[in-house]
Amino acid sequence: MSGDRSSTAARSTATPKAASSGAIILDGKAFAAQVRQAVALHAGEFASRFGRPPGLAVIKVGEDPASCVYVKSKRKACSEGGIASFEHDLPAATTEAQLITLVYALNHDDRVDGILVQLPLPNGTDANRVMDAIDPAKDVDGFHPVNTGLLAQKRPKLRPCTPYGVIRLAEGYGIALRGLRATVVGASNIVGRPMALELLLAGATVTVCHTGTRDLRAEVERAEVLVAAVGKAGFIPGEWIRPGAAVFDVGINRIAPGKLVGDVEYEPAARRAGWITPVPGGVGPMTIAMLLSNAVAAAFMRAGGKN
Ligand code: GUN
C-alpha cells in the first residue's frame, strides 16, 4: 500500500472491501442499501401508527435529461421504501407563480410529508423563491434557509442529502472526522456549503475552495479528508491526493454514453488515498438513501411522534 492511512484519517473499524490499488473503496451502494432497509422499516412503523405511509412529492419542471434520470430513481426508491410518491411533472413553460402555487398546495396537503423540487429549474424561474416557499418542516432537501441555518447553528433538523450521506458513509466505515483537516472543493448551496457545515459539526477543521482559491493544489495536498463537488470530470488530479486521505467524490459526470466519472482522477487517486468513493456507486446512492430517511423523519416530526 502506498499511503500510510494511520498517519492521516483514523483507521476504519468497519469491514471494508480492500481495493487492489491500495485505497479502501467506500461502497456507497451497499451501505445505502442498508440505510434504505432501516428506513423502510421505519416507514412501515409510521404507517401502522398513523394509518398512512409517509408521503413525498417530487416536482419536475421541464425535461432536463439528468433531472429525468434522478427523479425517476427517487420515485422508484420511494415506492421500494414504503413511501407514497406524489408525482408532479410540469411543462418547461410553467411560470414561477404557478410553481409556487403548487408548492403552497402541497404545504397544506396532509398526506405529503416532504416536498422536493428538482433542480435546475428552467431559465426565468428563481429557484431561491421556489425553495423558500416550501414549508421548512417538509423540506426534505434541507435547502430552505431555516434548515441551513439550523445546521449552521449546530442543531440540524432536515439535513441536505448529499452532505449528510457523506457523513453517514464516513461514520459507517469508522472514519473518525474529529480533528481532521477537511477540504471541500466547490461552494454550491446544494453541496459545498452544507458539506462544510456538516464537516464542522463532525469536528473537522474545514477549508472550502472555490473559483477564487489561489492555490487549489496546495489546499488539496494537505487535505486529510477531501470532498470534491465541482461537476467537472477528473478536475482533481490523482497526484494531488494526500497519501492516506479519505476522498469523497460527489461529481457525477457523463463523459460518454453510459460512462460516468467523478471530479477526481480515480485510478491515481485510489493508489494514494486511504479511502475513496467510486463513481458510480459511491456518494450518489447515499444521496437517495438520505432523501428517504429525511422523508420518514419529516413524517414523524410532523406527526409529533418519535423520530
Ligand atoms: N439537483 C441535483 N441535485 C439535487 C438535489 O439533491 N435536490 C434537488 N432538489 N435537485 C437537485
Q: For residue range 15-73, list pLDDT tens digits in order.
A: 334 444 599 999 999 999 999 999 999 999 999 999 999 999 999 999 999 999 999 99
User: Does the beta carbon of 161 sit less than 6 angstroms from any atom of ligand 1?
Assistant: yes
Nearest-CA neighbor of 87 among 180, 275, 95, 79? Answer: 79
- Selecting among 60, 118, 138, 157, the annotated active-site residue is 118
Q: Cell numbers 423523519 correspond to what residue?
A: 297
For atom 9 of ligand 1, the residue with the nearest CA is 118
Annotation marks residue 126 as catalytic = no
**Residue 11 binned pLDDT confidence (cut-offs 50, 70, 90):** very low
* Atom of ligand 1 at shortest range from CA of 291: 6
The proportion of the chain whose per-residue pLDDT surpasses 70, expressed as a percent, equals 92
pLDDT given for residue 7 in this prediction: 45
Contact predicate 288/258, CB 8 Å: no
- The domains of the chain are located at 5-26+173-286, 51-138
pLDDT given for residue 21 in this prediction: 56
**CA 119 to ligand 1 center in whole angstroms:** 5
pLDDT given for residue 93 in this prediction: 97
**Residue 120 binned pLDDT confidence (cut-offs 50, 70, 90):** very high
Question: Which one-letter amino acid corresponds to residue 241?
Answer: I
Q: In angstroms, what CA-CA distances link 145 with 135, 136, 148, 241, 281?
A: 11, 8, 5, 33, 30
Domain 5-26+173-286 and domain 51-138, same fold? Reply is yes
Q: Which tens digits make up the pLDDT trace of 77-119?
A: 999 999 999 999 999 999 999 999 999 999 999 999 999 999 9
Question: Which one-letter amino acid corresponds to residue 106?
Answer: L
Q: Which tens digits make up the pLDDT trace of 237-264?
A: 999 999 999 999 999 999 999 999 999 9
Quick one: CATH architecture of 51-138? 3-Layer(aba) Sandwich (3.40)
User: Does the beta carbon of 27 sit less than 6 angstroms from any atom of ligand 1?
Assistant: no
For atom 3 of ligand 1, the residue with the nearest CA is 119
Annotation marks residue 135 as catalytic = no
User: Does the beta carbon of 118 sit less than 6 angstroms from any atom of ligand 1?
Assistant: yes
**Residue 305 binned pLDDT confidence (cut-offs 50, 70, 90):** low
User: Does the beta carbon of 117 sit less than 6 angstroms from any atom of ligand 1?
Assistant: yes
pTM of the model: 0.93
Q: In angstroms, what CA-CA distances link 3 with 10, 130, 234, 279?
A: 13, 46, 21, 21
- Selecting among 27, 60, 74, 135, the annotated active-site residue is 74
pLDDT given for residue 60 in this prediction: 98
Annotation marks residue 74 as catalytic = yes
pLDDT given for residue 134 in this prediction: 98
pLDDT given for residue 29 in this prediction: 98
Is the pLDDT score of 303 beyond 70?
yes
The proportion of the chain whose per-residue pLDDT surpasses 90, expressed as a percent, equals 92
Q: Cell numbers 453517514 correspond to what residue?
A: 168
Mean pLDDT of 281-287: 98
Q: Best substitution site from 61, 64, 69, 119 to test ligand 1's pocket, by max atoms within 8 Å of Cβ?
A: 119
For atom 8 of ligand 1, the residue with the nearest CA is 118
Distance, in Å, from the CA atom of 99 to the CA atom of 78, rounded to the nearest integer, reads 22
CATH topology of domain 5-26+173-286: Rossmann fold (3.40.50)
User: Does the beta carbon of 190 sit less than 6 angstroms from any atom of ligand 1?
Assistant: yes
For atom 2 of ligand 1, the residue with the nearest CA is 119
User: Does the beta carbon of 116 sit less than 6 angstroms from any atom of ligand 1?
Assistant: yes
